[in-house]
């Protein structure tokens, strides 16, 4: 069984329980044309190296399922802007290993949060993040896999809740073909960027274009929000059932300027509801 590719890549973050290849097999079952996965536990620092069998199994599953796009998410423990030198070094080492794994698997992008300043200076944290990214990208020169910085909700001391901060990091690193951005609809909404009406949607994307540039956008996490606009509380909700509502997602899936950008669900109750949310997204497609 294979999946015919379409012009609009849509899918979800899928479980790797039973093997990395399972994320693709399960994705195919619910109609994904794009799949996100963790290449290892997101709540541990160290992991055994991938075996040849794991790598071959994943690559074979990609070919057999016909799913054209995959993306990975890194560990939640990594902080590439950490003020503690020991944590910073550990994060840099762990992230390099994450990038090594996605390169071996043939996954084009590794999504990462931008780290946290821990109340010890935003600008200093941004500077550390820039240096971390420069070091890692330089050390992996020749890789096909790149890094996608995720927009964040502004919860706690996390960086990346404003397009300006992300733009500053991109400028600091310099124009690099393996550095891009992942936009999360829930995160930008609770960070204060409205997308609920055609006018608000257009205005938010104008801000994105001014500070980041749509050419840097590599993937969109497509999640509704449990909490209100500007609340800075990161809680995902099922598509059309949260504070964002259906209209924003209709605008998103039909936006002719974004047809090349894969949409990935990270909505709750994944085992039962990913299929429902994916079908709902597809139902918004016009024409």
CA dihedral in degrees (114, 213, 263, 125; nearest 10)?
Answer: 0
Residue 12: which H helix or E strand, with range? Answer: strand 10-13
Active site residues: 43, 73, 76, 113, 150, 184, 187, 221, 234, 236, 266
> Is residue 46 exposed (0-12), middle (13-18) or buried (19+ Cβ within 10 Å)?
exposed
User: Taking the CB of residue 4, how many other CB atoms lie within 10 A of it?
Assistant: 7
Structure tokens at 210: 């001014």
Classify the phi-psi angles of 160: left when phi > 0, otherwise alpha if psi is within -120 to 50, otherwise beta: left
Task: Please state, in angstroms and rounded to a whole number, the distance separating the CA atoms of residues 143 and 54.
Answer: 20
Structure tokens at 285: 């497609």
Task: Please state, in angstroms and rounded to a whole number, the distance separating the CA atoms of residues 227 and 44.
Answer: 29
């Amino acid at each position: 069984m294979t999946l015919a590719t379409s012009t609009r890549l849509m899918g979800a973050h899928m479980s790797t329980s039973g093997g990395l290849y399972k994320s693709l097999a399960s994705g195919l079952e619910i109609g994904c044309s794009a799949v996100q996965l963790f290449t290892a536990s997101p709540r541990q620092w160290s992991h055994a190296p991938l075996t040849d069998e794991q790598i071959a199994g994943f690559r074979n599953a990609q070919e057999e399922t016909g799913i054209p796009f995959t993306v990975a998410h890194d560990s939640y423990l990594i902080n590439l802007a950490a003020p503690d030198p020991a944590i910073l070094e550990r994060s840099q080492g762990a992230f390099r290993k994450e990038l090594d794994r996605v390169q071996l698997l043939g996954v084009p992008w590794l999504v990462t949060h931008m780290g946290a300043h821990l109340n010890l200076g935003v600008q200093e944290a941004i500077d550390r993040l820039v240096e971390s990214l420069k070091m890692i990208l330089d050390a992996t020169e020749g890789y096909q896999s790149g890094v996608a910085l995720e927009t964040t909700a502004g919860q706690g001391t996390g960086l990346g809740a404003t397009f300006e901060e992300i733009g500053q990091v991109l400028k600091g690193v310099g124009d690099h073909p393996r550095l891009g951005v992942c936009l999360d609809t829930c995160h930008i909404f609770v960070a204060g960027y409205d997308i609920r009406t055609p006018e608000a949607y257009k205005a938010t994307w104008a801000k994105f274009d001014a500070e980041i540039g749509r050419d840097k956008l590599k993937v969109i996490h497509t999640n509704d929000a449990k909490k209100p606009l500007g609340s800075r509380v990161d809680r995902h909700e099922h598509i059309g059932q949260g504070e964002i509502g259906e209209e924003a997602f209709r605008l998103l899936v039909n936006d002719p300027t974004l047809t090349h950008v894969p949409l990935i669900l990270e909505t709750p109750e994944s085992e039962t509801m990913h299929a429902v949310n994916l079908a709902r997204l597809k139902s918004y497609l016009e024409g």
